[in-house]
Amino acid sequence: MTNFGEEATQIGSARALKFKDVVFPQYREAGVFLWRGYTPLECMHQCFGTSKDFGKGKQMPVHYTGAKVNIQAVSSPLGTQIPQAAGYAYALKQRDRDACAVCYFGEGAASEGDCHSAMNMAATLDCPIMFFCRNNGYAISTATKDQYRGDGIASRGIGYGIPAIRFDGNDLFAVYNATKAARKLCVEEQRPVVLEAMTYRVGHHSTSDDSTAYRSVDEVKHWDTVDTPINRIRNYLTGRAWWDETQEKEFRSNARGEILRGFKEAENTKLPNPLLIFDEVWDELPVQLQAQKDELIKHCMKYGENYPLQNHEEMK
Amino acid sequence: MLCRKLLGRCALRKGEVTLQNVRTAAHFTYLPQTPNPALGDTTKLNMFQSINNAMDIAMEKDSSAVLFGEDVAFGGVFRCSLGLQDKYGSARVFNTPLTEQGIIGFGIGVAAAGTTAIAEIQFADYIFPGFDQLVNEAAKYRYRSGNEYNCGGLTVRAPWGAVGHGALYHSQSPEAFFAHCPGLKVVIPRGPTQAKGLLLSCIRDQNPCIFFEPKILYRIAAEEVPVTDYTIPLSQAEVLREGSDVTMIGWGTVVHVLLEVAQMAHDELGVSCEVIDLQTIMPYDSETIEKSVKKTGKAMVVHEAPLTQGFGAELAARLQEECFLHLEAPIQRVTGWDTPFPYIYEPFYLPDKWRCFDTVKKLVDYM
């Protein structure tokens, strides 16, 4: 899953947070992870499911878990993270009145019942949570006109008694300033805020999607060339002679090198010990599950040649 | 290659398979079945096409029928609804906002009004927001109103099961949760021909039905499918391969693993296995499986879902109740482990042919 077109929503908002603000992601916030210090190599270990993945190869690609960066694990079901973030925010009140929870979600996920519950609870229970909606125009093939008929997501805040702000999600500074202002309100008054970043999903929903089936190439092209966060910030910087083509070339070359090296390294890293399947279902391994683990060990001793054991760390 | 070995030995089977178009997937081979000549002309369809065909027929014959869910308008993420909005219009085939609890609740209402409702949930893994509506409402709609009301016109469809790389949230087989709820029907096809016939039965059945579609079969399972409007009865299991030594019971994808293992058992152990596709999980055809186990005395149930409280537990309990004195070995279950469905470990998680083959050995060696 890619993040093309939504870079400003991620970097601008991440920059305005404090590290101690817990982040509950959906799955299109890789920039928030990277901003806080998750490395491209760590991303790749997760995508390849290697033994160096913090999540130990349990989840599908881009489902990062980020304790190192105070970001909760990505999970596929939509909207489930929203009430969780409200609860976490409530618990934060006991610990740190200078921190908040930030929950990212798309305008599609905002249609889930969980979103309604979360906003209403956050309002009635005074939870210091920022509801950050990336309104990127599409939920797979479903355009916003079929997702809602009201005035986007920001207007819903009013219905719950939650202050709301809508801004240009492709303007890096607008995202930063809006998030900064919202955070101040959220933390100082210990109450929720709704933020709606208007942006556009340039890429397909995922590698399983071909968006030419439901939107025009011209529409995508506009958002990939004219109103794109990277071009806009680049124009701003080059206009002030703070950036130029030489620096751009060098940066791209270095980044490409880093990515390709990371790719190669992750590709050549062993996958985890297969017995980790049984770990961490509960905090401790129940007797029945130990028996199943033993069964797999015995099975692989007999039939191991039929399994990709050579790709994994030793089974022990 | 094992694939070619199997083809060479296909002649030993009851004429159910063809030598054409065998597709080998990650852990099984799909062998196309020979169509029933009594159903007339056929056309080659894969499973998403046969499901599309079933819905097309249903919507043509039943002018009330509506199809809705996330992304169904452009054809659906698995193309099951391709072309249907063009044909029947956006009042009958439409996208809903992103809300499973809404889709199912809305579907109950549509059906309660007497309109046939086909509700698509994008992945079975996402059906749970609608669990309350299914269990507390759909299942009990007729019962709690003294039959004054019902939502029998509701069919909920969802992609189901392992796909090679689906991990926790694109691989689940949640049939056991719903089998535990009286009032619902749960149906799982093993291929395109069954998908069409069983789905048409579900759509026309006067009870809320959940139709789980093995997503790994959408493309790779392809065969000649009768073009006519035909149904396959619910609550009837099918014996795919007759045998005398071991009864193997499964549904969906795993049926193809069992057919392969049955052949391996024949070739390498001289053991004769009877393979049964349960088809309808609830209400299930107990008679067919009991008859088989009374004959063989040795039974194994295989499913991808985790072991504890999986549907194999119900079948094992029932079979030991009804066939106790015929049993020569404890009933075996070969299943996913009691863990969430893990990504990179899938080959070690699935109840694959080696675990099934080893279980056959265990059964015949028991006494």
Last residue within a domain, chosen from B173, B198, B226: B226
Total structural domains in chain B? 2
Q: Using an 8 Å Cβ cutoff, are B32 and B46 in contact? A: no
Mean pLDDT of chain B: 94
Q: Using an 8 Å Cβ cutoff, are B213 and B123 in contact? A: no
* Residue B270 forms part of a structural domain: yes
* Residue B198 forms part of a structural domain: yes
Q: Using an 8 Å Cβ cutoff, are B23 and B29 in contact? A: yes
The alpha-carbon radius of gyration of chain A (Å, integer) is: 22
Q: B218 is written with which tokens?
A: 């959408």
* Residue B187 forms part of a structural domain: yes
Residues of B in contact with A290 (CB under 8 A): none
Q: Which amino acid is at B274?
A: E
Q: Smallest CA–CA separation between B34 and chain A, in Å?
A: 31
Known catalytic membership, residue B170: yes
| Interchain CB contact of B71 with A (< 8 Å) | yes
DSSP annotation string for B111-164: HHTT--EEEE-S-GGG-GGGHHIIIIIGGGTTGGGTTS---TTEEEEEEES--S
Q: Which domain holds residue B8?
A: 2-30+236-365
Q: Using an 8 Å Cβ cutoff, are B342 and A58 in contact? A: yes
Q: Give the CATH number, domain containing residue B138.
A: 3.40.50.970
H-helix or E-strand spanning residue A157: helix A154-160
Distances (CA, A) of A82 to A74, A112, A194, A315, B41: 12, 10, 12, 38, 52
Rounded Cα–Cα distance for residues A135 and A9 (Å): 10
C-beta atoms of A78 and B358 within 8 A: no
pLDDT for res B3: 39
| Interchain CB contact of B126 with A (< 8 Å) | yes
* Residue B105 forms part of a structural domain: yes
- Given the residues B100, B120, B224, B260, the one annotated as active site: B100
Of A213, A271, A288, the CB nearest to B338: A288
What sign for the dihedral angle of Cα A15, A17, A21, A27? Answer: negative
Rounded Cα–Cα distance for residues A99 and A309 (Å): 45
Known catalytic membership, residue B266: no
Q: Using an 8 Å Cβ cutoff, are A145 and A203 in contact? A: no
Q: Using an 8 Å Cβ cutoff, are A182 and A195 in contact? A: yes
Q: Are residue B186 and residue B280 in the same domain, yes or no?
A: no
Q: Are residue B206 and residue B308 in the same domain, yes or no?
A: no
Last residue within a domain, chosen from B188, B208, B226: B226
Distances (CA, A) of A68 to A64, A72, A97: 11, 10, 22
Q: Are residue B283 and residue B204 in the same domain, yes or no?
A: no
Q: Give the CATH number, domain containing residue B315.
A: 3.40.50.920
pLDDT for res B27: 86
Rounded Cα–Cα distance for residues B83 and B94 (Å): 12
Q: Residue B8 pLDDT more than 70?
A: no
Residues of A in contact with B307 (CB under 8 A): 292
Helices and strands per DSSP (H, E), number in chain A: 11, 7
Q: Give B321's pLDDT tier (boundaries 50, 70, 90).
A: very high
* Residue B49 forms part of a structural domain: yes
* Residue B174 forms part of a structural domain: yes
Q: How are beta strands B29-30 and B66-69 bridged, if at all?
A: unpaired
| Interchain CB contact of B106 with A (< 8 Å) | no
Q: Are residue B76 and residue B181 in the same domain, yes or no?
A: yes
Q: How are beta strands A142-143 and A138-139 bridged, if at all?
A: antiparallel
Q: B198 is written with which tokens?
A: 């069983």
Residue B186's φ and ψ, nearest 5 degrees, are: -130, 125
pTM for the predicted model, two decimal places: 0.95
Q: Residue B165 pLDDT more than 80?
A: yes
Q: Are residue B48 and residue B154 in the same domain, yes or no?
A: yes
C-beta atoms of A141 and B95 within 8 A: yes
List chain A pLDDT tens, one digit each, 316 residues.
999 999 999 999 999 999 999 999 999 999 999 999 999 999 999 999 999 999 999 999 999 999 999 999 999 999 999 999 999 999 999 999 999 999 999 999 999 999 999 999 999 999 999 999 999 999 999 999 999 999 999 999 999 999 999 999 999 999 999 999 999 999 999 999 999 999 999 999 999 999 999 999 999 999 999 999 999 999 999 999 999 999 999 999 999 999 999 999 999 999 999 999 999 999 999 999 999 999 999 999 999 999 999 999 999 9
Q: Are residue B181 and residue B289 in the same domain, yes or no?
A: no
Q: Which amino acid is at B22?
A: V
Q: Are residue B68 and residue B152 in the same domain, yes or no?
A: yes
Q: Are residue B158 and residue B183 in the same domain, yes or no?
A: yes
Of B102, B344, B348, the CB nearest to A296: B348
Q: Are residue B83 and residue B165 in the same domain, yes or no?
A: yes
Last residue within a domain, chosen from B198, B226, B254: B226
Angle at A173 between CA A171 and CA A178, to 5 degrees: 100
Number of other residues whose CB lies within 10 A of the CB of residue A166: 19
Q: Using an 8 Å Cβ cutoff, are A201 and A144 in contact? A: no
DSSP annotation string for B48-66: HHHHHHHHHHHHHH-TT-E
Q: Are residue B207 and residue B282 in the same domain, yes or no?
A: no
Q: Are residue B220 and residue B112 in the same domain, yes or no?
A: yes
C-beta atoms of A111 and B99 within 8 A: yes
Q: Smallest CA–CA separation between A292 and chain B, in Å?
A: 7
Residue B163 CA neighbour count, 13 Å, CB half = 25
User: Residues 6 or more apart from B266 whose CB is under 8 A from it?
Assistant: B9, B12, B272, B273
Q: Are residue B26 and residue B41 in the same domain, yes or no?
A: no
A-B contacts (CB, under 8 Å): 119
* Residue B285 forms part of a structural domain: yes
* Residue B231 forms part of a structural domain: no
